[in-house]
Structure 1
Amino acid sequence: MSAATAETMDIVSPTIVAAAGCATVVMASALAYVMMKSKDRKKEEEEVVGESSGSDSTGETLDATKFPGGYVTVLFGSQTGTAESFVEEIEREGEDNGFKVRVIDLEDLGDNMTSLLAEEYRDSENKSRAIFLMSTYGEGEPTDNASAFVRALKEKAGLDGNIIDDDSAGEEKKGDEDATEVDSNLLGGLEYAVFGLGNRQYEHFNAMGKLVDSALSKVGAERIIELGIGDDDNDLEGDFENWKDNIFWPSLKERYIGGNATAEEKKDSAELKLPDCHFAVEYLPKSDESVEVDNISLDEVQTSTKHYFTSVDCPVTVTRELRSADTGSTLHMEIDISKSKDVINYQTADNLGVLPVNDDKVIEAVANALSYDLDAVFRIKAAPGKEGKHSVPFPTPCTVRECLSRYCDLTIAPRRSDLKQLAAYAKDPLDRSALLRMASKEGKAEYHEKIIDAHVGIGDIVSKLCRSIEAPLEHFIGLCPRLHPRYYTISSSSSQHPDSIHITVSILKEELGSGSVYTGVCSNHLAGIIQNGKIRVFCRDSTFRLPSDTSRPIIMVGPGTGVAPMRALLQERSYQRIQQKLSVGENVLYFGCKNRNQDYIYEDEMESFKNEGTLNTLRIAFSRETEKKVYVQHLLADNAEETWKMVDEQKASVYVCGGVRMGADVTDTLKKIVSNKGQVSLDEAKVYVEKMAKEGRYVQELWA
């Protein structure tokens, strides 16, 4: 089934219409089932230890000769799967280093932290060990699967907010009569380490790693390794590899085993053993009869893949180009949600998650290289011994084509650890050697040149570069990253357009030195959608919310496609003023682009907002029209007096959307305005802006 055919379906996962003799898979019941009321969480919390991947549920005594270091529990907070993949590396290496590793998704742990002290996982000194890999999401927030755990941990540790300063141990709650008393022995007997994943471009770099590391020590746990820090703006995988190989494993072995000679011998001998597979594939006999997708409760689905089960197909009714010819492409798209409002409800400037689809040529190349039948229908389940709560990664039964098109990221550059796994499947010694060389620490430069800089994905490796790779489907599903949704801040008002969602999409196309063209998997999927063609979507809350007091002014900063939520806010303010006859405060917009004749998107609409009186002030930075480049932060600084009056006296809300560096520059500019006009120090200005953020009056949604 082609991607185009898939886009014509209406239900959560497409009906698979195959040629005569192939199965038809009807998935309409899946959405209704997974949207049912969640199961009782208390029972799950009691069972979290026994159900977690890697746990020993047999009750048998641990083999001390095989695992002289005993148990170590590894927990992860992950949004896109990076922290989870790092945890899987630790799990794979556990036995070679002398430890029985069990993995727990923090969503399963929730607020049931004391389950980490379960007696069956303690050592001879009655101690438990837990390692936390914590990703930071957005502006210093926990990932979705870690939110309940972080909330409970902060409460027990008496911490207020998510931000732990580098030179402090965090600020305890003060003056809160309802604050829970800190339980300084809640996790007494737990020894822990934390590795944080973040991106230094963001203001609150590695906030979750720092928070969890600090909070655990406040509730009685003992830190055994100093906080590890990974920076995705540089070399996140390298940071993790260095921490894992040079700090984590050596520290654990020295503390709990006292030697590592045996472990090293095992590691060398096992270097190219076939990777452990968590999945099993059951191929279904070809039949003309329909086969319904297995009913899976959302409680049994991992947070990072729930969108596969809850998203719906909606038609695109409008697509129009916003830029002039030959200057790139930015599309305005309108999606009809009128028939899906029982599932999709949005508020102005929320986020729309779009599930990408891989290009047909890439799918067919991978299938040909690995000898997969694209029309074969299969069910995925846990491999023997790997049964657990989150053993189903996506809806099945489905065709192999559906699996490769929607659930496997075939174009993302694989990590070096992925190359090492792929090497185990290469039959040609030259292919195996090349993959292992680039996977090694010594091969980092070659890896960056030939994989990262060349935009080579797993699909390219198996179909072009290392054709000797042979991997059964279940193994490929296990080693290939999931294809994650792309999020677009909605550019429409839910009041003005209750049945339609608008998004603003920058189409990614980049010419490579080889003469080929690299295209963004999601933006180019959207660019290829024909009139009334369908895309699979879901909604997620954003932080953009207009002030409840409509008379208060707002300041919007949105260069490029960052203007999308500002368009939505202006539509909503127009609706409040004209339709609802409310008193609406002043609206000021700072927009930026290169040239007014090339990429001034939504120009006609901005002029219309001005003419009707909704947009009071529009300031535009055309960065390529002057000898000295001018950006939105420069215009904000030029209007410091006005900005200070609106923010301080009139309690204006400030909204910023765009690139991380722009966001940082705008924040610095605002701090300087507060410092200069408010006659306070920069440190006091920082506190002022942070207070605005806590009050919802300074909101940023940024991307790296």
Structure 2
Amino acid sequence: MDIFSPADVLVLKVAFGASVAYGVQKLISHTSQKPVVEPLIPPRSKTSNLTSNILATPSRNIKTELKRTRKSCMIFYGSQTGTAEKLASIFAKEALFRFGVEGLVADLDNFDYDDLLSLSEENVLVFLLATYGEGDPTDNSISFDRYCANLRSKTDLQAHNLHYASFGLGNSSYQFYNEMIKRVDSTLSGAGAHRIGSAGLGDDADGSLEDDFLTWKDETLPQLANHLGFTEQERAPIVNLVISETKSSSSIPLFLGEPNAAHRKGKLRGPWTNSNPLPARISESREVFQNSPRKCLHVAFDISDSTMTYETGDHLGVSPENSNREVERFLRIFGLFEKKDSIFNIGSEDPTVKLPLPAYTTYDAATRYYLDICAPISRYILGSLVSYCSDEVTKAELLRLSKDNVAFEKEVKNLCLNLAQFLEGFGSSTLWNSVPISLLFEMIGKLQPRYYSISSSSLQSRKCISITAVVETQKNDEWSHEFKGVATNYLLAQHFQIRGPNALEPTHLLSGPRFRNTAMSSLIHVRRSKFRLPKMNSVPIIMIGPGTGIAPFRAFVQERAWQNSAHPAGRTILFYGCRRRNEDFLYEEEWRQLETSFKPGTFSMHVAFSRQDPTKKVYVQHLLNQQAEELRELILRQNACVYVCGDAQRMAKDVFTAMAQIIGEDNAFDGDSQAYLKTLKKNKRWLEDVW
């Protein structure tokens, strides 16, 4: 079977010059011809009902847009990292495939909500909303959250014709678990609207988010379809995207990894955002672990020639690229390696579907810069591949794993394999050549930036931003497989390249689109945070951050020291945890130097070494108990602010429990200590930057 079916082909009538073709082809050729090493795991014993030719300008009015696109369902997503958007697309696709329900996947930020409550019962709204931080809406949901808050202040609402479905993406490690979807559900039901199915709550704390979504989807879709008058029936698989290959030409806007048209043209200007990141030169890259098999990098980016600004406590987004090894593996598995530099055009038969790639690019650029080919596999993807597998044994295996959650977790998820790595285990090099590339590109999410707490002070270091990142590497002993984090290993490759071309065999291209990255830079942008120092430097602060959770506190202490001469700092206490003093004590010398910037007794640091004594593990919560008397004084009587940074699932909970016990033991305190700490959170005196 050919990779491109007739339904996947668009007819292009463009004249191509031979000389231009040669030049562009030379420019776009990246990948080595050397084959990927042996497989990581041993061998295992035409679209339909798509709306087209919708030419009218999109409207911000929900009713108008539903009518314009001839959809009966609008699927809103509130997404910070792209997951909710991806799940919304899956929901829309399955609604059409199984029931013939045409849904419009929509960014909440692209609409006004004045007519939301007056929608007729012939339409359904679906909300897939992530909760960000401590119960906050995602950036594209802020306006909708304000709208809901305004609705809750009214008592005469009549929304009895509105029907909706809701699913939240959250993490139960946080206090305000799935708070955003809970607020929305309460608001709409309180206004008289009718929810279809249950309010789904997806939990990322234990990795069950996808399973939670699939369970909710399978329960909700039949009820939604029934309400709209549709019944389930067998239909052809739905593939919205259409891909056609073409030849190189100066007349087409060819993207080779650039994030937008301005980057492609070399005309860069702010504001610097996720979609328009700044190419910032790496001014410093050094390892900050001493005698450890693990690696941790301190990376500083020069922003002196840009308009980029940041505030202490913000996050830095780094846009990575996939490694040579994984790009080649993916291309070979799906029969694309020999044509990796071929140019293709991507479009959609449904103009309301958002394209995951620029209109013109190459297979190499798509898999290197634009698609998250190293993402964990989902049961949904495995189930989608079943129809295109010609081997009956393999087909049965894919079907089993896509249906059996327990087997999937044991045999797929726990191995930490990406899609191409997993499919290698089925042997045949041509087994997956019949999978439509349009389907693959539709299922695989976009390569998203990774975010890191900024470890520099914006007052002391205005023109340079630094981060502190442990290089993510996990070994699977059963298969001798090593999982490598995409972004940190990209930064590690840059680190070795800066040290010298012979420091290590190159793992990434690094030269960037059109070989423009000659100064070793990364694409970065700043994400604003609420993790802020008190406005008054005299307010006492208590900082708790094991491991790389110390990163923002390096910035905090730098800033307090910088301001100290003009505005004397209040009590500044840092609780830090690592394994061993001579192994992973981050910035040890810097802390000694910073202490001299304060008056004696102002700054103190308490360090827990969890592996120093093999007979006794010491963690930061143990150190809190040792300083209980001063902590009670600072929090209860001096209005100190508390900051926690690091692991949300264990550390942050243990710290909260320990601190509640400390507060509860105060002789003058009469009340519920946990409720008191929750009040501190509400009043922004207890702030967390956890993951």
TM range (shorter): 0.7 to 0.9
Question: Does the CA contact (< 8 Å) of 1:24 and 1:288 recur in 2?
Answer: no
CA distance in 2, matches of 1:537, 1:564: 18
Q: What is aligned with 1:161?
A: none
Question: Does the CA contact (< 8 Å) of 1:592 and 1:620 recur in 2?
Answer: yes
**Paired amino acid for 1:598:** E
Question: Does the CA contact (< 8 Å) of 1:45 and 1:112 recur in 2?
Answer: no
Q: What is aligned with 2:5?
A: none
Are 1:371 and 2:335 counterparts? yes
Are 1:672 and 2:661 counterparts? yes
CA distance in 2, matches of 1:430, 1:453: 23
Distance 1:324 1:44, change over 3 A: same
Aligned residue among 623, 641, 645 for 1:657: 645
Q: What is aligned with 1:639?
A: 627
Q: What is aligned with 1:143?
A: 138
Q: What is aligned with 1:103?
A: 104
Which SS does the other structure have where 1:585 is aligned? coil
Q: What is aligned with 2:682?
A: 694
Q: What is aligned with 1:328?
A: 294
Alpha-carbon offset, residue 156 of structure 1 = 1.3
Question: Does the CA contact (< 8 Å) of 1:559 and 1:591 recur in 2?
Answer: yes
Question: Identity across aligned pairs (percent)?
Answer: 31
| Residue deviations 1:411-447 (CA, integer Å, cap 9, x gap) | 222210111112233233333222222111xx22332
Which SS does the other structure have where 2:582 is aligned? coil
Alignment of 1:232-311 (within 5 A): 232-234=204-206, 235-245=208-218, 247-252=219-224, 263=232, 266-267=233-234, 270=235, 273-277=236-240, 279-281=241-243, 283-287=245-249, 291=253, 309-311=275-277
**Paired amino acid for 1:20:** G
Q: What is aligned with 1:3?
A: none
Question: Does the CA contact (< 8 Å) of 1:72 and 1:130 recur in 2?
Answer: yes
Which SS does the other structure have where 2:275 is aligned? helix
Distance 1:254 1:330, change over 3 A: same
**Paired amino acid for 2:25:** C
Distance 1:672 1:397, change over 3 A: same
Q: What is aligned with 2:581?
A: 596
CA distance in 2, matches of 1:240, 1:491: 35
Question: Does the CA contact (< 8 Å) of 1:22 and 1:288 recur in 2?
Answer: no
Q: What is aligned with 1:76?
A: 77
- Which stretch shows the higher mean deviation, 82-91 or 314-323? 82-91
Distance 1:214 1:682, change over 3 A: farther
Alpha-carbon offset, residue 394 of structure 1 = 4.1
Q: What is aligned with 1:209?
A: 181
Which SS does the other structure have where 1:518 is aligned? strand
| Residue deviations 1:119-166 (CA, integer Å, cap 9, x gap) | 5xx43xxxx4323222222222222222211121122113xxxxxxxx
Which SS does the other structure have where 2:129 is aligned? strand
Alpha-carbon offset, residue 274 of structure 1 = 3.5
Alpha-carbon offset, residue 402 of structure 1 = 1.9
**Paired amino acid for 2:103:** R
Distance 1:551 1:256, change over 3 A: same
Aligned residue among 543, 549, 573 for 2:536: 549
Which SS does the other structure have where 1:419 is aligned? helix
**Paired amino acid for 1:483:** L
Distance 1:84 1:297, change over 3 A: farther
CA distance in 2, matches of 1:602, 1:309: 33
Which SS does the other structure have where 1:453 is aligned? helix
Distance 1:308 1:141, change over 3 A: closer
Alignment of 1:109-120 (within 5 A): 110-115=111-116, 117-119=118-120
Distance 1:72 1:110, change over 3 A: closer
**Paired amino acid for 1:591:** Y
**Paired amino acid for 1:209:** I
Q: What is aligned with 2:170?
A: 198
Aligned residue among 409, 418, 433 for 1:457: 418
Q: What is aligned with 2:68?
A: 57
Are 1:391 and 2:376 counterparts? no
Question: Does the CA contact (< 8 Å) of 1:489 and 1:503 recur in 2?
Answer: yes
Alpha-carbon offset, residue 457 of structure 1 = 0.8
Q: What is aligned with 2:608?
A: 621
CA distance in 2, matches of 1:481, 1:450: 22
Alignment of 1:553-568 (within 5 A): 553-568=540-555
Stretches of structure 2 lacking an aligned partner (at least 5 in a row): 1-19, 29-56, 264-271, 499-518
Distance 1:663 1:520, change over 3 A: same
Q: What is aligned with 1:14?
A: none
Alpha-carbon offset, residue 363 of structure 1 = 0.8
Question: Does the CA contact (< 8 Å) of 1:292 and 1:397 recur in 2?
Answer: yes
Question: Does the CA contact (< 8 Å) of 1:308 and 1:395 recur in 2?
Answer: no
Alignment of 1:5-84 (within 5 A): 20-22=23-25, 46-51=60-65, 55=66, 57=68, 71-84=72-85
CA distance in 1, matches of 2:95, 2:23: 48
Are 1:444 and 2:405 counterparts? yes
Alpha-carbon offset, residue 100 of structure 1 = 2.1
Alpha-carbon offset, residue 620 of structure 1 = 0.9
Are 1:402 and 2:389 counterparts? no
Distance 1:394 1:334, change over 3 A: same
Question: Does the CA contact (< 8 Å) of 1:48 and 1:108 recur in 2?
Answer: no
CA distance in 1, matches of 2:309, 2:355: 27
Alpha-carbon offset, residue 556 of structure 1 = 0.8
Q: What is aligned with 2:202?
A: 230
Question: Does the CA contact (< 8 Å) of 2:564 and 2:598 recur in 1?
Answer: no
Distance 1:557 1:21, change over 3 A: closer
| Residue deviations 1:579-617 (CA, integer Å, cap 9, x gap) | xx2222121100011111111111111111123327611
CA distance in 2, matches of 1:253, 1:392: 26
Alpha-carbon offset, residue 354 of structure 1 = 0.8
| Residue deviations 1:548-576 (CA, integer Å, cap 9, x gap) | 11111111111110000000011111111
Alpha-carbon offset, residue 326 of structure 1 = 3.6
CA distance in 2, matches of 1:424, 1:116: 41
Q: What is aligned with 1:350?
A: 314
Are 1:515 and 2:515 counterparts? no
CA distance in 2, matches of 1:519, 1:451: 16
CA distance in 1, matches of 2:62, 2:109: 6
Alignment of 1:308-319 (within 5 A): 309-319=275-285
**Paired amino acid for 1:552:** V
**Paired amino acid for 1:446:** A
CA distance in 2, matches of 1:402, 1:641: 58
Q: What is aligned with 2:504?
A: none
**Paired amino acid for 1:149:** F
CA distance in 2, matches of 1:236, 1:621: 33
Question: Does the CA contact (< 8 Å) of 1:556 and 1:656 recur in 2?
Answer: yes
Q: What is aligned with 2:87?
A: 86
Which SS does the other structure have where 2:215 is aligned? helix
TM-score (norm 1): 0.79
Alpha-carbon offset, residue 652 of structure 1 = 1.5
CA distance in 1, matches of 2:101, 2:144: 24
Question: Does the CA contact (< 8 Å) of 2:534 and 2:641 recur in 1?
Answer: yes
Which SS does the other structure have where 2:81 is aligned? coil
CA distance in 2, matches of 1:474, 1:454: 27
Question: Does the CA contact (< 8 Å) of 1:140 and 1:206 recur in 2?
Answer: yes
| Residue deviations 1:379-421 (CA, integer Å, cap 9, x gap) | 433x12x112x63334453332221112111122221011111
CA distance in 1, matches of 2:572, 2:201: 41
Stretches of structure 1 lacking an aligned partner (at least 5 in a row): 1-16, 26-42, 63-70, 159-180, 299-305
